[in-house]
Structure 1
Amino acid sequence: MTLTPQQHEQIAGELDEADRTHGVIERITARYPDATIEDSYAIQGIWRDSQIAAGRRLVGRKIGLTSKAMQQATGITEPDYGVMFDDTVYASGSELRFDDFSNVRIEVELAFVLKTPLEGPDCTLDDALAAIDYAVPALEVLNSHIQLEGRTIVDTISDNAAYGAMVLGDVRKRVDEIDLRWVPGVLSRNGEIEETGVAAGVLGHPATGVAWLANTFHRHGARLEAGEIILAGSFTRPMWVRKGDEVRCDYREMGVIECRFV
């Protein structure tokens, strides 16, 4: 780390205020060009702990930047992760308040719910599949509180990996019921198709990110717990949305997700 604990606290406080006011702050790397990934996870951790202390309940983790589409869209070439709280999970058909988010975009993903804990350091795809209870389609709402232009992975991680909310579908599949690599996503805004992709775009198999996260957590002395929701990463580019937009994603045999921004 290159930043002091006081600087970590200060930046976490700025991000907390930006989250409350739906604002955007100056890039961390513009102010602290030597900030490291370790600094960014320290900032995220302080923010996370403050949210838990305020009464929010952690229900899972999001993994980001796991596909070529997302890496090319952001210019960032390694995965990251953030946390998800219970008040950010919506059912298909929900209306979401547009003004609750900043730099609002949508990504097409699969989410996994764990039936058993998962721990590194040598977790494989097979280990992850064995620990997964079921897969469910999900749309992630990106919520960026840091200036987008010129941002690096340090900025993104500090900002809870740009996670805002998740809209879950109704269809659940066990990992032995379907070839998850070939789950499609056809994303539409106001009836017009904007993005398409298949889940194999996420590291070759969408559950590979779950194994990566378990191994990453092990380095911090932690593990993924039973019951957690793991949002595995987008297999399309992010789609910008505006107030009033109706969003629909067709996952074929895994159903359809719809939501509206009001």
Structure 2
Amino acid sequence: MLDQSRIAAIADELFAADRDRTTVPLLTARNADMIVEDAYAVQSEWAKRRQDAGARLVGRKIGLTSKVMQVATGITEPDYGVIFDDMVIESGATVQFDRFSNVRIEVELAFVLDKPLSGPNTTIFDVLDATAYVVPALEILNSHIEMQGRTIVDTISDNAAMGAMVLGGRPVKVDEVDLRWISALLYRNQTIEESGVAAAVLGNPAMGVAWLANKLAQHGQSLGAGEIILAGSFTRPMWVERGDTVHADYRDLGSVTCRFE
């Protein structure tokens, strides 16, 4: 494990990389004894720096909850990161490509809570009861650490690669739809690149939110009413380039779109 001074130094390095839109060498290559708990400690320190700079916490993201994502990354357990107010984008927006590094897109569902959730014994039924509605979302991945050779420790430290999310489509109550069967087609410049069904996320995306509430309890944290939870991708990450238009068609739930300039 790392001592507090080293954790703070890594958080400073990642905060500067986020501010300057740069990438840094692998953390695990430079800190051989770094473990998952160190990574969450780095993430927490980084988040404090963002909040001290004026960012407001509005939610959390869950990553690596589906087999397709675990295969794509070589990582076998979920992770989580924080969402700040400046990471929330409305569908139809033009997004500055240079705001992010290693830009990729994932297709997800966002859960908006109207009741708090606290682990360690949160169930899928607790999640469904606490959810005001779900809404289609795209996650924009943003990696400040070099990609080749990353481990889950690197990814967690880097806020689970959270860059921003694009919200759109039609919000629905959880009792109005079978969450498992929500599906989407992901287009890049009018060509379907990926497709998926939400059941790929732990059998039901609400299970991802339950996992998150229970994992946060291990770190003395919980989910509050009003928070937005990105429940995990049910497609592989899709690389995008400057000038690309991204469109996700969720059929009955509408669509989400953005353009990178």
TM-score (ref. length: structure 2): 0.99
* 1:18 aligned residue: 17
Q: In the alignment, what sits opposite 2:257?
A: 258
Give the counterpart letter for 1:212 in structure 2: W
Question: What residue number does 1:55 align with?
Answer: 54
5 Å matches for 1:182-221?
182-221=181-220
1:202 & 1:210 partners in 2: Cα distance? Answer: 10
1:71-86 pair list within 5 angstroms: 71-86=70-85
The aligned residue for residue 177 of structure 1 is: 176
Residue number in structure 1 paired with 2:118: 119
CA deviations 1:69-123 (Å, max 9, x no partner) are: 1100000010000000111101110000000000000000000000100111111
RMSD over equivalenced CA pairs, Å: 0.6
1:86-165 paired onto structure 2 within 5 Å = 86-165=85-164
Q: Which structure 2 residues correspond to residues 35-50 of structure 1 after superposition, within 5 A? A: 35-50=34-49
Q: Kindly report structure 1 stretches of 4+ aligned residues shifted beyond 3 Å.
A: none
Deviation at 1:217, TM superposition (A): 1.2
Write the distance in 2 (CA, Å) between the matches of 1:33 and 1:221. 27
SS in 2 for 1:73: helix
Work out the CA distance in 2 between the residues paired with 1:246 and 1:100: 16
Return the offset for 1:220: 1.8
Distance 1:130 1:57 in 2: 26
- What code does the residue aligned with 1:67 have? S
Q: Structure 1 residue 170: deviation in Å?
A: 3.2
Residues 129-156 of structure 1: CA deviation (Å, up to 9, x unaligned): 1111100000000000001111100000
Deviation at 1:222, TM superposition (A): 1.8
For structure 2, list consecutive stretches of 5 or more residues without a partner in the other structure.
none
1:22 CA drift (Å): 1.1
SS at match of 1:247: strand
**Aligned-partner Cα distance in 2 for 1:194–1:34:** 39
- In the alignment, what sits opposite 1:227? 226
Specify the code of the residue in structure 2 equivalent to 1:210: V
Partner amino acid, structure 2, of 1:155: D
Q: Helix, strand or coil for the counterpart of 1:106?
A: strand
2:241 is equivalent to residue 242 of structure 1: yes
In structure 2, distance between residues paired with 1:123 and 1:131 = 11
In structure 2, distance between residues paired with 1:256 and 1:170: 5
Structure 1: which amino acid aligns with 2:244? D
Residue identity opposite 1:134 in structure 2:
Y
Tell me the TM-score normalised to structure 1 length. 0.99
Q: What secondary structure sits across from 2:15 in the alignment?
A: helix
Q: In the alignment, residue 205 of structure 1 is paired with which amino acid?
A: N
Long gaps (5+) in structure 1 = none
Residue correspondences, number: 261
Which AA in structure 1 matches 2:166? Answer: V
* Alignment-derived partner of residue 28 in structure 1: 27
Name the CA distance, whole Å, in 2 between partners of 1:236 and 1:119: 28
Amino acid at match of 2:200: G
